[in-house]
Structure 1
């Protein structure tokens, strides 16, 4: 009879053996006042999972291409046509390309060109009673997808928030939902992140 053998890792009380959590601060470039998030992510996450953390925490719709840049090396989804040369993000863990103080670049939507700076603010042992990833802070709503990058977002805000603006009605119809540029809810972002696991 065939038996499945299970291997269980040895339990050690040493903090160096604990699963490490990376505290990341994600800041969207080109937007004032700043749109930012602070998230706690396992260092063992591959970059494709970190991509999903950025998407859910920021509030993007994950409808466009993206790429990470770590020390001049780009990681993303390999292009079958070879037009974009990137290393496969599925094969690379966060803790392999970043440590305390590291700065990564994350670009989302090569048309609108949203750039983010990701800073590793802290690295700490995981707490046993906490589920990761989680969002622990942030400010301001993420711009809508396809709004036209930082410049398009400035134009959108001017029109959306001013009932006398000639583009006000068109912008409201285009978005088709209410939008509050100052709103952000870390608990809601964490609830979205929990869908990943």
Structure 2
């Protein structure tokens, strides 16, 4: 699992809580590049998100960007600390993701920012903080601004399972392909299709006006 992006030896510093030690400056607007690790060709999204959203809200945004259901467990690895939705894990270097917003984790995000979804399939996303950008007047956030390729069907078996699935799709006469497409209702699935407008329509529920 490719999650080490720096030297994290030494003392673990507890992150600051959401709303603690903030100044009066407006929250930043972050440009994030989200890529599905080991996908080939690379499946990625570029999104703009306000700095005041929590990691849990970012989880919801990422699920919409990938077209997934959010029914499986997930966690974030930011800097050198794990965050998830289990309030009973606030020891051993794990913290509740709803308590921390992005602007309080900005420095840690620059070192390492990983989103892990569904331990069984092992969907790992590498998130790169590309830059802080100026919000456009009248624009609502979060918003997807770019990306490539459709996200894999959620329970296809991870990146390796998706590779096998794509191989089956290439043979329209293959019985296994027809069975899978029928069972999963994927007759219209196009692995090359990325619908930015559709994703942004679905993101409207999570908008913040900047």
Structure 2: gaps (5+ residues): 1-23
Spell out the pairing of 1:150-165 with structure 2 (5 A cutoff): 150-165=159-174
Spell out the pairing of 1:20-99 with structure 2 (5 A cutoff): 20-78=28-86, 86-99=94-107
**Contact 2:149 / 2:191 at 8 angstroms: preserved in 1?**
yes
Are 1:148 and 2:180 counterparts?
Answer: no
Q: Tell me, in whole angstroms, the C-alpha distance in 1 between the residues paired with 2:196 and 2:183.
A: 26
Deviations 1:76-124 (A, max 9, x none): 1116599x97310110011111248444000000100000000010112
Spell out the pairing of 1:99-114 with structure 2 (5 A cutoff): 99=107, 101-114=110-123
TM-score (norm 2): 0.79
Deviations 1:54-80 (A, max 9, x none): 111122221211100011200111165
Q: Describe the shift of the 1:89–1:169 C-alpha distance in structure 2 as closer, same or farther (beyond 3 A).
A: same
Question: Could you tell which deviates more after superposition, 94-103 or 167-176?
Answer: 94-103
Structure 1: gaps (5+ residues): 1-15
Deviations 1:33-60 (A, max 9, x none): 0100000000110100111111111222
In terms of Rg, which structure is larger? 1
Deviation at 1:18, TM superposition (A): 3.1
Q: Describe the shift of the 1:102–1:123 C-alpha distance in structure 2 as closer, same or farther (beyond 3 A).
A: farther
**For 1:168, which of 166, 170, 177 is the aligned residue?**
177
SS in 1 for 2:61: helix
Are 1:19 and 2:37 counterparts?
Answer: no
Q: Tell me, in whole angstroms, the C-alpha distance in 2 between the residues paired with 1:125 and 1:80.
A: 38
RMSD between aligned alpha carbons?
2.1
**For 1:124, which of 126, 133, 151 is the aligned residue?**
133
Deviation at 1:128, TM superposition (A): 3.1
Deviation at 1:157, TM superposition (A): 1.1
4+ aligned runs moved over 6 Å, structure 1: none
Q: Tell me, in whole angstroms, the C-alpha distance in 1 between the residues paired with 2:181 and 2:67.
A: 19
SS in 2 for 1:164: coil
TM-score (norm 1): 0.84
